[in-house]
Amino acid sequence: MGKVERLQQQIQKLSTEEWVELRDWFLKLDWESWDAQLENDIRAGRLDDLANQALSDHTTGKTTEI
């Protein structure tokens, strides 16, 4: 049995309070990871082309206000 399977079994044994605590911790960890990746991509210029295209589309009237 692998690590994930063992973790799954342990998670299924958690009380409701423990489950909520784990879920909240995991969601926070996931969002922090996403934020870090986004910041790295911005610093590396990986999103520059998308941003420039969006600005160009807006300037040429290809966007609509929401």
pLDDT by residue for the chain (66 residues), tens only, comes to: 899 999 999 999 999 999 999 999 999 999 999 999 999 999 999 999 999 999 999 999 999 988
Its sign, for the CA torsion 3, 5, 10, 12, is: positive
Per-residue pLDDT at 56: 96
Find the domain containing 27 and state its range. Answer: 3-59
Would 64 be classed as within a structural domain?
no
Would 26 be classed as within a structural domain?
yes
- Expressed in angstroms, the distance from the first to the final Cα of the chain is 50
Structure pTM? 0.68
Number of independent structural domains in the chain:
1
Phi, psi angle pair for 62, to nearest 5°: -85, 5
Question: What helix, strand, coil percent values describe the chain, rounded to 5?
Answer: 75, 0, 25
Would 39 be classed as within a structural domain?
yes
Per-residue pLDDT at 65: 87
